[in-house]
Copies of this chain bind each other. A is one copy, B any other.
Amino acid sequence: MKRPTIADVARQAGVSKGAVSYALNGRPGVSASTRARILAIAEEIGWRPSSAARALNGAHARAVGLAVCRPARTLGVEPFFMELISGIESELSDRSYALMLQMAADHDQEIAIYRRWWGEGRIDGAILVDLHVDDPRPAAFASLGLPAVVIGHPSGAGPLLPVWSDDDGPVRETVRYLLALGHRRIARVAGLPRLVHTVLRDRAFTEACEGVAEYVTVHTDYTGEEGARATRRLLSSPDRPTAIVYDNDIMAVAGLSAAQELRLDVPGDLSVVAWDDSPLCQVVRPPLTALSRDIAAYGAQAARRLLSLVSGEDPGPHEEEAARLTPRGSTAPPRVRERVPADG
């Protein structure tokens, strides 16, 4: 009942282990007829290469690592991750690479996990997500010599290969769109302030609004709960915003509900824009105007770059297509007339 090895194949074929190895790997060194015979026997007795034995000879582990440190509750709710993983997967499974997944409590633990995986020869490379300001991970990865792709802006990727999508453009596009609709008081319910892309979006938002609209940014932890709380606070202010841009879809949905609970009409009294366009956005009423991007493609791209990095090539950094504004029912001109400049 033991797993068959090449020695078993060799015995049955009446050749040496070496010949079997050559035959099974499609390398020269055996005749076509012997090769066919060996392959047939291997097939028949159900031989599979032992990944351990292969790895021992310096071959690749044929797996890449993804350790994630986010609180479990955000992970479960935000569609972003599963879509990203499913994109990564699609690329990996095509080449029979596996994905090693682990949740970490913090960056130190995450680094420890990678150190172990890499040290033990379990992974060939890693994908780094949720880039922080002053993130210790790029340097740690580099010192380990662990090939890695960073999903995040090059400015924070250090020596690692970045795969990112523009944050600046979509923010400006959104603000322009809201301005064009006539909004002059715009709020942004942002994610964790320590994340690089939050900082980039914050800056873009500020610059886009500066001088043309009143604006405010509130930071949250991405949960619907905090999104709702931030929304209530914003909407109960005397000069409440007429539009709110949310940094993820779950907060946008929560914000929408919070507004409706306050008897405000969306989009009449308040326009809502979500960043990232999961099915969730189209399921609520009104459907949410959202910044859409193909997250699965994003993940697939990262996986592709990582694999080429692992195989010794030197793929350049890659900027994924930026998110595009998909207007839906949650945005409209503000009902409350504002003093609009003649040239506006």
Contacts and interface: CB of A to CB of B under 8 A. Distances in A.
Interface of A: 1, 3, 46, 48-56, 61, 63, 72-73, 75-77, 79, 81-83, 85-86, 89-90, 92-93, 96, 98-104, 113, 115-117, 119-122, 145, 223-225, 227-228, 250, 253-254, 257-258, 260-261, 278-280, 282-285, 296
Contact of A223 (B3, B93, B279): B279
Given A63-B122, A76-B83, A99-B101, 10 more contacts: A3-B119, A63-B100, A72-B86, A77-B79, A77-B82, A77-B280, A86-B103, A89-B102, A90-B103, A224-B280
A90 B71 CA distance: 12
Contacts of A55: 50-52
A120 B77 CA distance: 34
This chain: copies in complex = 2
Contacts of A103: 86, 89-90, 93
A3 B98 contact: no
Given A103-B89, A103-B90, A121 B50 contact: yes
A64 to B, nearest CB: 11
Nearest to A72: B86
A88 to B, nearest CB: 9
Contacts of A257: 283-285
Contacts of A81: 82
Contact of A285 (B48, B82, B260): B260
Nearest to A71: B86
A79 to B, nearest CB: 4
Contact of A101 (B89, B96, B121): B89
Given A46-B119, A77-B79, A120-B51, A282 B224 contact: yes
Contact of A121 (B3, B89, B284): B3
Given A83-B76, A250-B279, A284-B257, A122 B98 contact: yes
Nearest to A258: B285
A82 B82 CA distance: 7
A96 B284 CA distance: 41
23 contacts: A3-B121, A46-B119, A48-B115, A48-B116, A48-B119, A48-B120, A51-B120, A51-B122, A52-B54, A72-B86, A76-B278, A77-B82, A77-B279, A82-B82, A85-B101, A89-B102, A93-B103, A98-B101, A223-B279, A227-B283, A228-B283, A253-B284, A254-B283
